Structure 1
Amino acid sequence: MREKIVLIDGHSILNRAFYGLPDLTNAEGLHTNAIYGFLNILFKILDEENPQYLTVTFDVHAPTFRHEMYEQYKGTRKPMAEELRQQVPVIKEVLQAMQIATIEQAGLEADDLLGTISVDCEAKGLDVSIISGDRDTLQLATEHVKIRIPKTKQGKTEIEDYYASDVLEKYGVTPEEFIDVKALMGDTSDNIPGVPGIGEKTATKIIQEYKNIENAHEHAGELKPPRAGKNLAEYWEQAKLSKVLATINTHAEIAFDLEAAKHGNIFTKEAYEYFQRLQFKNLLGRFDVEASANEVEKYFKEVTDKKAIDAIFEKACQADIVGAAISKDAGNVLPLFSHPSGYGRIALAFGKEQIYSIPCDMHTDMEYLFSRLSEVAAHAGLFVMCDIKRYLALLPGIVRERCFDAVIAAYLLNPLKNDYTYEDIAREQLHLMIDENIEESTKACYEAYTCLKAVEPMSKKLKNTGMYRLFEEIEMPLLFTLYDMERAGIKVEAEELKMYGSRLGEQIVRLEREIYEMAGEEFNINSPKQLGVILFDKLKMPHAKKTKTGYSTAADVLDKLAPDFPIVAKILEYRQLAKLKSTYADGLANFIGKDGRIHGTFNQTITATGRISSTEPNLQNIPVRMELGRLIRKVFVPEEGFVFVDADYSQIELRILAHCSGDAQLIQAYREAKDIHRMTASQVFHTPFEKVTDLQRRNAKAVNFGIVYGISSFGLSQDLSITRKEAAKYIEHYFETYPGVKVFLDDTVNQAKEKGYVSTLFGRRRPVPELKSSNFMQRSFGERVAMNAPIQGTAADIIKVAMIGVDRELKRRKLKSRLILQVHDELLIEAEKGELAQVKEILAEQMEKAADLKVPLIVDMHTGQSWYEAK
């Protein structure tokens, strides 16, 4: 039986995987889709082929003979996408870790290496399988050399196989003749010019009859169609060049060692570690489970004896650092004795060999375990958990200054992720991949161990990046403030909310009738397809955008039509009211607790800029632009004997822009408390300050805030309903007025391109990987992020400092008043009426002194018997 070698065209398969799979990145921000796709194809091939030898060939990024010939003729090849380019050295390292032979040589392309090695191996009596996405390799097919071309169909990889007979059957020419077909028809993807006017069908017919381009050229006058013969004669030099470019070198001088290509065990410890780092969790199953078991697991102990449990808690109280986890595993307890919280187990780790899982039971119930864990939190040198806020109600002993939230630390180090699990932290900080299928008791031990061991590397990284102070002085204290806000909640008048919903329902029905009357028929207003037919087929409105499923009825399309078509204005109003009813009037009612208050959740690890978000429900998204939306705030009321105080930063992002840019005119305007929008209008529109119209001021306001968000002339033209040219003029005049702003924004983008991130005044980093994208739209988005993130992030940091200060001062003075809500730049206090003066004093002092800027921080403050009145 003949031995077999598999040869893989590295760049070709990487390229196919890169464009065939959605973008993937690991925790380090490395793009991994090409590597992942390559490995999947590799495993599929090895499972099918079971070869004795294996080699992967790569191009060297240096001019080859064929490159140079083509460049003399028509320029250079398109550069490789940056996201793909960065994956090339990594796949080579992975293959090395898998003990797979690779070969590359300056002056030769990968397919030259494939051709030479295949000819050599066939001569030595081996069967050869060449894996490539490049159909040029079909010229290498013989009776013992099989070409395998992967294709993606409906998300699955299928492979076409070609021996010499298959090439003849599929293309009507032999593998050798395939070169001549390519020379005539050309190939833009390979920069082979070919002969103009000769396509695949004509080229194939010519070569079938004349066997090669040289013979065809001699009979150019006989070729059909005549135009093909005329073009071949006229472009003969180009045809000859094309044949050279299309021909794979099968006798190159290379140093190939067949013995070094022996295929052995690729599932090495080094490879396993690489797969962990790349986060290829579902490929880890190919490794020997025993070999991949983490060394630390042998130290995990489940303890059920009460005396032993007490001894463990005593030791933990004396430890310098304790990692802890609380699990919903039911442990050994009967359902009758289960804890209301659903938790049934805790885990503790305070040394490499001291990792304990402690389930509750009839004798050691969860209340007892919580009380002992609370003691540990009070006495240990440092108490570490993931998402501490979730457990604060259970662990009153936590000392604010001596606890460490691993999730918050992970978020600061990489704010671009959607969630932060202990498995992620273990993988990213400890290079520890945890099997998903382990028991709950083992998971709890892993979480506690991860908390214990991740403190040191995370603290070091936070210090190295200049974010440790941000973590210690802002983010950690903030979690306690947010917890208090969640516990306090906000009172809602349930009946008033119901009446509000009823009024909305009546108006929605009225609007439906009016829309049907104007349309001349009834239809489903919520169906984009039916709505598109009414607007664009029946009523013949302009701006129609056809999609695969019908006309687009997106907001931007309808906004253009609304001023000229009353029915469209009604439809937009209908959509707004329907959203208000479903999301707020009906939606909020589901969140009202038994105490008549909504206890939402405030998240501090969601947004990339550092802003706090609100969920269950989202109270930060209460509509404010339309009066009917603002009315929803009337249902939020203070307790009897209390009043709402709403404090809102005035133009905080523009003030931060003035500080960061150092623009003298902008700083002076804020110091003199001038109307910044009127002043900008005066400068941009060349109008005396006192003669600026309301429209000019509104337009200048759009420019002022648009600049902060990196707005383009197109975006501004859409916002103001003006031409793009006019919008560009507005922006140009703005930068002439405030030249320091232009310099600051340009410098910020350039530094982001150089460093890969931007920072706030408090040191918070926001990576901007989009700036390295090969996609223009992504890069443009990255530039806008680079401009805005330092401003928006600094505003987020400032409001956090203010929240911590306000909360701390209210408690220090032992006031009944409490902070209950934060909405971006706004704080809402439920103030006891007798404490109103003190609350206003605290708000003003803590908010205005939260940051030391070159311009004053101004706070607008209002009181009321509802959130609507206070706002």
Structure 2
Amino acid sequence: MKKLVLVDGNSVAFRAFHALPLLTNDKGVYTNAVYGFTTMLLKVLEEEKPSHMLVAFDAGKTTFRHGTFEEYKSGREKTPHELSEQLPLLRKLLDTFRLSHVEVDQYEADDIIGTLAKQAEAEDFTVRIFSGDKDLLQLVTEKTTVSLTRKGMTNLDTYDVKAFKERYELTPLQLIDMKGLMGDSSDNIPGVPGVGEKTAIKLLKEYDSLENVLANIENISGKKLKERLTENQEQAKMSRELATILTEAPVPTKVTDTGYEGYDAGEVYRLFKELEFNSLLQSIDDSGETEKKELSPLDFTIVETVEESIFQSPSALLVEVPHENYHNGDIWGIAIVNEMGKYYIDVETALTSEVFREWAEDETQFKQVFDAKRAFVSLGWRGIQLRGVNFDALIASYLIDPSSSSHALTAIAERKEIPAPYHDDEVYGKGAKQTTPEREILAEHLARKADTLKQLAPLLNEELETNEQSVLFKKLEMPLSIILAKMETYGVQLDVGQLEKMGKELEQKLAELEGEIHELAGESFNINSPKQLGPILFEKLELPVLKKTKTGYSTSADILEKLANEHEIIPKLLHYRQVSKLKSTYIEGLLKVVHPETSKIHTMFNQALTQTGRLSSAEPNLQNIPIRLEEGRKIRKAFVPSEQGWSMLAADYSQIELRVLAHISKDERLVSAFNEERDIHTKTAMDVYQVKEDEVTSEMRRNAKAVNFGIVYGISDYGLSQTLGITRKQAKAYIDAYFESYPQVQNYMTEAIDEAREKGYVTTQMHRRRYLPEITSSNFNRRSFAERTAMNTPIQGTAADIIKKAMVDLEYVLLEENLRSRLLLQVHDELIFEVPEDELERMKHLVPQVMEQTTDLDVPLKADVSYGPSWFEAK
């Protein structure tokens, strides 16, 4: 069966953007619109199984309709850059799915869809249209149905001729006449003033068309309605014309060009990993075999007995641990390549060899590795302390181009155009299907990878030197990888009993809240059931209905937050949901990842992930424990020292990114504020609102704080309006006032964009780079994202470099003074240690001192320190 699916790209992306909270991946790219679009796309592909498919986009703000009515769509607010920056990514998604997409200058997506729908009908296709725009309902016929997004992106209202008739009591084509009469405020189509949907439908039911309505004005009852129709006849006709979707637009793509044969699961899977759409990975069937490239034979040796003759300095050492979680000592094999040859060693053969152990632990035997941290941790779990690592291809690749979609060894080799081994997925499979191949296959694969590693080392070192990144690589990132490996291996002690106790306390809290909610509702019901909650709130308690779904009333968090002041039951419901999530995600989630042998949490720090240089953590993510809610903060009580009588000590940088901004921008007022140790948010409030210090209210300071931190992240008026719950106009006024107060900050931002345009990249103080190829793009959306990134990357990246350097400096001091205190965690701008009682006084002074002196800025760095019997008390 021939079936054409047409998607209104702009409309669906807009709905997705506003249906989901702002999301970013670890590279700082906004993804919520793309994520919402993708969920709908997967559903459409699965359920519709189209033979042909196309996504249509608007080409720009100006269309042929503006020649008819200059004010067409003029009332719309400017598209938030958080959305517009996602449109190039959306097109990349469509390319990855191998889907046609098109835009036509001077025409709207609706016209493209209307034209292709009529073509398809003439060629006996079934047509399905997906949009969030009711205008497209005029295209409904016996062959064409239109589905409109409602709640979220997968809950749709579908209209055929019958459904349209039931909803509007008209035919689909009469929708155009209805728009001519009532207009459309969202598109600034004027219509006839005072005529709404009910009146328009009533008139069209009686007179069939706009022309007949206007021809029969004298027969229409109601003096005011007659007057309005008489006075606005031409406006009504123009409005009808504006609302009419063209079905003969000059679309270069024909229906026959839109054939769809499916997507390459591997390509989509890799894109989802890059975008961090982890919850969607399981929906991709990536079990199909992909054709392997042919590789030339490799001369290598499988070592049965380990002898000293196979070791040299330097050697490329490949420790293969393909599992995501490597805190189990499960090593699959080891390969070594040097001037003597290429060798594969079975893991048990290597680990039981004293010769291998001595070489691995010899500081003078230099080793080139891929992912030093993983190798260090994996061998450490098996009793070998890896030393002498002087090169890490993963870290080198990451520093050279942090925006690369993959830093896998094969991907690096392909970029450097040297012979590359097979991708690991081709050898091992993916995810749960990952298996150890036969010995010969594994041996050859690892020998190839080690050989590739050896060839890459000089190439990557040379590029680091050219980029002035050798110091960053050798003095910061390489030492840091070993520090992170030690932190991961040692882990953080978890008081399981304390955590279980908290779980019971949260259960009790949930029971209390449930009782209070039931009392306020006047009856018992299932709080977790929207079908039961909806009628309680909107029928029994008569709260205002803000949104309805196909299955009833919407009780989503954003709806409840808007109703917070309407009834005291709403704050209770929101609190109930927060506590419930704490219990399931954090109490139960943390208990699941306690290591069975150590009773500790061994998180994994991602050193080569974010484009700003910041560290992140995973399995579990200890940087994401919620602390805004009192119950969430208490979870940190379960993180305790591993030895009796020791304390947890936390030290965090105070407003480090704002201090970096002051240093980079050289803004005199900002620099002075920090040098005079003023409260920066109060000072900003004074400058922005032009008031004295004693006139600054808590709300003024809160708004100033949001602007201060927002400026660092290149916040828009839309983003700030969402943060503060104010209008975009107010938000723009705050931002404008900020730049008037701190003009050199705006100068810095202009200069950062100019530098990026000239060089194609921006750098941190320590020469960390971020390439911005889109900075010269003719596409406004792509260019604006690059400009925002050019402004904030030097700030965020320099702050990330500073705390990393502090970690390296502190490790050196701890070793030099022979202290037993240990660094356990890094959480954003905070370092957490466990400290013996006899070192507490020393550490209270040493840690902030080192952190504050780790680099020189025009403003002082400030680190606050606290301590206690648990991480909770240390904060």
Task: Compute the TM-score of the two structures, normalised by the length of structure 1.
Answer: 0.63
Report 1:436-585 matches (<5 A): 436-438=425-427, 439-527=441-529, 531-532=533-534, 534-536=536-538, 539-542=541-544, 544-546=546-548, 552-585=554-587
The equivalent of 1:294 in structure 2 is 295
1:366 equivalenced with 2:351 (yes/no): yes
**1:262-312: CA deviation from partner (whole Å, max 9, x where unpaired):** xxxxxxxxxxxxxx9xx9xx99x99996xx4223xx224342442xx42xx
Cα distance change, pair 74–349 in 1 and its aligned pair in 2 (3 A): farther
Shifted more, 435-444 versus 854-863: the winner is 435-444
1:346 equivalenced with 2:341 (yes/no): no
Q: Offset of 1:582 from its aligned partner?
A: 1.8
Shifted more, 671-680 versus 320-329: the winner is 320-329
The secondary structure found in structure 2 opposite 1:570 is helix
The equivalent of 2:650 in structure 1 is 646
Shifted more, 499-508 versus 641-650: the winner is 641-650
The equivalent of 2:312 in structure 1 is 317
Contact 2:311/2:359, CA 8 A, preserved across alignment: no
The secondary structure found in structure 1 opposite 2:312 is helix
* Equivalent position amino acid for 2:337 in 1: A
The secondary structure found in structure 2 opposite 1:357 is strand
Q: Offset of 1:135 from its aligned partner?
A: 11
Report 1:181-260 matches (<5 A): none
Q: Offset of 1:773 from its aligned partner?
A: 8.1
Cα distance change, pair 709–488 in 1 and its aligned pair in 2 (3 A): same
The equivalent of 2:604 in structure 1 is 601
Question: 2: distance between equivalents of 1:376 and 1:769?
Answer: 43
The secondary structure found in structure 1 opposite 2:873 is helix
Matched positions, count: 668
Q: Offset of 1:780 from its aligned partner?
A: 5.7
Question: 2: distance between equivalents of 1:457 and 1:563?
Answer: 62
Question: 2: distance between equivalents of 1:669 and 1:807?
Answer: 32
**1:513-546: CA deviation from partner (whole Å, max 9, x where unpaired):** 2223334454443345654555456655447245
Q: Offset of 1:675 from its aligned partner?
A: 1.5
Question: 1: distance between equivalents of 2:599 and 2:247?
Answer: 81
The equivalent of 1:385 in structure 2 is 370
The equivalent of 1:808 in structure 2 is 812
The secondary structure found in structure 2 opposite 1:861 is strand
Contact 1:82/1:772, CA 8 A, preserved across alignment: no
Contact 1:388/1:405, CA 8 A, preserved across alignment: no
**1:124-152: CA deviation from partner (whole Å, max 9, x where unpaired):** xxxxxxxxx989999xx9xxxxx999999
Cα distance change, pair 370–619 in 1 and its aligned pair in 2 (3 A): farther
* Unmatched runs of 5 consecutive residues or more in structure 1: 1-14, 30-71, 76-80, 92-132, 142-146, 155-169, 171-196, 199-224, 228-241, 249-275, 330-338
Q: Offset of 1:477 from its aligned partner?
A: 0.7
1:303 equivalenced with 2:281 (yes/no): no
Question: 1: distance between equivalents of 2:569 and 2:779?
Answer: 39
Contact 1:425/1:450, CA 8 A, preserved across alignment: no
Report 1:113-192 matches (<5 A): none
The secondary structure found in structure 1 opposite 2:379 is coil
Question: 1: distance between equivalents of 2:588 and 2:404?
Answer: 31
Task: Select which of 828, 831, 839 maps to 2:832.
Answer: 828
1:356 equivalenced with 2:350 (yes/no): no
1:423 equivalenced with 2:423 (yes/no): no
Contact 2:604/2:620, CA 8 A, preserved across alignment: yes
Cα distance change, pair 668–300 in 1 and its aligned pair in 2 (3 A): same
Q: Offset of 1:399 from its aligned partner?
A: 3.6
Cα distance change, pair 137–517 in 1 and its aligned pair in 2 (3 A): closer
Q: Offset of 1:673 from its aligned partner?
A: 0.9
Cα distance change, pair 518–148 in 1 and its aligned pair in 2 (3 A): closer
Q: Offset of 1:446 from its aligned partner?
A: 2.4
Greater relative contact order (Cα < 8 A, sep 6+): 2
The equivalent of 2:846 in structure 1 is 842
Q: Offset of 1:738 from its aligned partner?
A: 0.7
Question: 2: distance between equivalents of 1:247 and 1:598?
Answer: 58
Cα distance change, pair 16–408 in 1 and its aligned pair in 2 (3 A): farther
* Equivalent position amino acid for 1:410 in 2: S
Q: Offset of 1:373 from its aligned partner?
A: 7.8
* Equivalent position amino acid for 1:293 in 2: E
Percent pairwise identity: 40
Question: 2: distance between equivalents of 1:625 and 1:514?
Answer: 22
Question: 1: distance between equivalents of 2:553 and 2:118?
Answer: 43
Report 1:708-747 matches (<5 A): 708-747=712-751
Cα distance change, pair 537–459 in 1 and its aligned pair in 2 (3 A): farther
Task: Compute the TM-score of the two structures, normalised by the length of structure 2.
Answer: 0.63
Task: Select which of 685, 694, 697 maps to 2:698.
Answer: 694
Cα distance change, pair 568–766 in 1 and its aligned pair in 2 (3 A): farther
The secondary structure found in structure 1 opposite 2:591 is helix
Q: Offset of 1:354 from its aligned partner?
A: 2.7
Q: Offset of 1:358 from its aligned partner?
A: 2.4
* Equivalent position amino acid for 1:741 in 2: V
The equivalent of 2:46 in structure 1 is none
Cα distance change, pair 512–785 in 1 and its aligned pair in 2 (3 A): farther
Question: 2: distance between equivalents of 1:599 and 1:845?
Answer: 28
**1:641-694: CA deviation from partner (whole Å, max 9, x where unpaired):** 322222111111110111111111000111111111111111222211233233
Question: 2: distance between equivalents of 1:398 and 1:567?
Answer: 58
Task: Select which of 661, 674, 679 maps to 1:675.
Answer: 679
The equivalent of 2:237 in structure 1 is none
Contact 1:324/1:447, CA 8 A, preserved across alignment: yes
Contact 1:360/1:369, CA 8 A, preserved across alignment: no
Contact 2:674/2:859, CA 8 A, preserved across alignment: yes
Question: 2: distance between equivalents of 1:595 and 1:605?
Answer: 27
Question: 1: distance between equivalents of 2:504 and 2:573?
Answer: 19
The equivalent of 1:161 in structure 2 is none
**1:201-245: CA deviation from partner (whole Å, max 9, x where unpaired):** xxxxxxxxxxxxxxxxxxxxxxxx9x9xxxxxxxxxxxxxx9999
Name the Cα RMSD after superposition: 5.9
Contact 2:377/2:486, CA 8 A, preserved across alignment: no
Cα distance change, pair 549–712 in 1 and its aligned pair in 2 (3 A): farther
Contact 2:377/2:488, CA 8 A, preserved across alignment: no
The secondary structure found in structure 2 opposite 1:408 is helix
Cα distance change, pair 573–85 in 1 and its aligned pair in 2 (3 A): closer
The equivalent of 2:138 in structure 1 is none
Cα distance change, pair 360–737 in 1 and its aligned pair in 2 (3 A): closer
Contact 2:376/2:482, CA 8 A, preserved across alignment: no
Contact 2:374/2:485, CA 8 A, preserved across alignment: yes
1:434 equivalenced with 2:433 (yes/no): no
The secondary structure found in structure 1 opposite 2:663 is helix
Q: Offset of 1:368 from its aligned partner?
A: 1.6
The secondary structure found in structure 2 opposite 1:404 is strand
